[in-house]
Structure 1
Amino acid sequence: MSKILLVEDQQTAAAYLSKGLGEAGLLVDVARNGPDGLHLLLTESYELAILDVMLPGLDGWAILELARKAGNRTPVLFLTARDDIEDRVRGLELGADDYLVKPFAFSELLARVRVILRRHDAAAPPAGSEPTAFVLADLKLDLLRHRATRGADRIDLTPKEFALLSLLIRRAGEVLSRTVLADKVWDMNFDSDTNVVEVAVRRLRTKLDDPYPIKLLHTVRGAGYVLELRN
């Protein structure tokens, strides 16, 4: 049974969502403010955290940012009354998995929760089914330890950046379009008119390539991106 964290300051909404998720077979812990939510996220083990953006003490963005800096990789679904594209992009860049705008139908929330849980269950392949580590030049990616290094340097990546790099290195030498990246990494749960893919690639390149003389992540104009060692 999956255990999830719900951080929602509105009592009626928290009770309604907690009851519905519980009836769907999920174990739910509820926090009513940002600091309590962050404490639970960092001290307990969850398969998913559902965070309201506007919270007392710490907003949802701050919770996610602090959790990621602490090394916590729990999948996150944001709930918010704000539908600005900039807000959605901000949440995705911080490492959120999805973004649901209020008001919403509970059936849609439950469907998205199940998609995230299935996706992250599938992300951990059975032992021996496929490689769990990849090497390209001096870049090493360890899927089990969720670690990326170049030479002796540890590269600190957000969950989305790690997922993006994992896809690129699994298919090294193959040009992947923005559509493919959006589908495989973000599951298309965002407005396709946004530049979230370009922003994520740019941030990944800043960490992966900019400090090093050998460049691995390349843009193929009009086609997409490719991870490869070029002569």
Structure 2
Amino acid sequence: MLMKQTILLVEDDDAIADLVQQQLSEAGYRVQREADGLLAMKAIEAQRYDLVLLDLMLPGADGWEVCRFLHAKHQQVPLIIVSARSAEAHRVLGLELGADDYMVKPFSVLELVARVRALLRRVEKMRQPAASTAELYFGKQHRLDPVSRGLRCGDAAIALTLREFDLLYFLARHPGQVFSRTDLLNRVWGSGFDGYEHTVNSHINRLRTKIEENPQQPRLIETVWGVGYKFGLARKGENAGI
């Protein structure tokens, strides 16, 4: 029998938490609840979850701190922020910190469950082995391995989230081609992704901090003003089959 996927629900409003937990449980997920940011970080320290649902306004430690802790501890665990903070600046910050989705309260619980299900499906698909096993080389000593889904620069490993890896691997497989943000949303996130284009900007910015010598003057992931982004020349491994 397949193991249930476990979701950490971090929400201090009991009425909301009760409703979300009930709907997620009926959808077949195991739900662990925490109402305090510090307790949520202890839970994340002790266990790797399949997905985290995170409020921002929490006692103990706020959601921003929990978000940073999650991605320092478990880089590839998907995260959905659910918050009453609706300003675009908050949405952007959440995405910059690594959230995969952002929902504003009040929200439809059925829509939230649908987004959870869709995100977990995408994550499972991303974890499947790539069709090609050829490593890609770029920059001075960067190496992308689609089998281990890892990035190294020389002997040093560079941590990437699931989405960061897929975005970088897609761009590196199409050097010199220009893609709009909509193109990248459709090709990397999937045509059914209910996000917005700044998601791409946020992931590009994070990738630049990890692979560029000078993120303020990028040479690997270039901006084509008014159009989108393109990748500098990447080279395949000796056994490349792309």
TM-score w.r.t. length of structure 1: 0.85
Looking at structure 2, the residues matched to 56 and 185 of structure 1 have their Cα atoms a distance apart, in angstroms, of 36
Report the equivalent of 2:219.
215
1:150 aligned to 2:153? yes
Task: Look up the equivalent residue of 2:183 and give its one-letter code.
Answer: V
Contact 1:161–1:204 under 8 Å retained in 2: yes
Structure 1 residue 84: Cα displacement: 0.5
Q: 59-68 or 168-177: which moved more?
A: 168-177
1:30 aligned to 2:33? yes
Q: 74-83 or 169-178: which moved more?
A: 169-178
1:49-198 equivalences in 2 (<5 Å) = 49-126=52-129, 129-131=131-133, 133-137=135-139, 138-157=141-160, 160-185=163-188, 188-192=193-197, 195-198=198-201
Contact 1:33–1:55 under 8 Å retained in 2: yes
Give the 3 Å change call, closer, same or farther, for CA 72–150 of structure 1 in structure 2: closer
Looking at structure 2, the residues matched to 225 and 170 of structure 1 have their Cα atoms a distance apart, in angstroms, of 14
Q: 23-32 or 203-212: which moved more?
A: 203-212
Q: Identify unmatched segments of 5+ residues in structure 1.
A: none
Structure 1 residue 67: Cα displacement: 1.8
Give the 3 Å change call, closer, same or farther, for CA 198–48 of structure 1 in structure 2: closer
Looking at structure 1, the residues matched to 201 and 131 of structure 2 have their Cα atoms a distance apart, in angstroms, of 32
Task: Look up the equivalent residue of 2:137 and give its one-letter code.
Answer: V
1:225 aligned to 2:207? no
TM-score w.r.t. length of structure 2: 0.81
Aligned-partner SS, 2:178: coil
Task: Look up the equivalent residue of 1:189 and give its one-letter code.
Answer: D
Q: 67-76 or 131-140: which moved more?
A: 131-140
Looking at structure 1, the residues matched to 14 and 132 of structure 2 have their Cα atoms a distance apart, in angstroms, of 45
Contact 1:95–1:160 under 8 Å retained in 2: no
Task: Look up the equivalent residue of 1:5 and give its one-letter code.
Answer: L
Contact 2:7–2:51 under 8 Å retained in 1: yes
Looking at structure 1, the residues matched to 229 and 112 of structure 2 have their Cα atoms a distance apart, in angstroms, of 33
Aligned match for 1:11, one of 10, 14, 33: 14
Looking at structure 2, the residues matched to 158 and 204 of structure 1 have their Cα atoms a distance apart, in angstroms, of 10
Structure 1 residue 157: Cα displacement: 4.2
Structure 1 residue 172: Cα displacement: 3.0
Deviations 1:179-217 (A, max 9, x none): 11233455653444xx45335424422431225999322
Structure 1 residue 41: Cα displacement: 1.9
Report the equivalent of 2:238.
none
Contact 2:126–2:166 under 8 Å retained in 1: no
Contact 2:143–2:151 under 8 Å retained in 1: yes
Contact 1:42–1:72 under 8 Å retained in 2: no
Contact 1:97–1:186 under 8 Å retained in 2: no
Task: Look up the equivalent residue of 2:128 and give its one-letter code.
Answer: P
Task: Look up the equivalent residue of 1:9 and give its one-letter code.
Answer: D
- Calculate the aligned-residue CA RMSD, in Å: 2.7
Looking at structure 2, the residues matched to 132 and 61 of structure 1 have their Cα atoms a distance apart, in angstroms, of 37
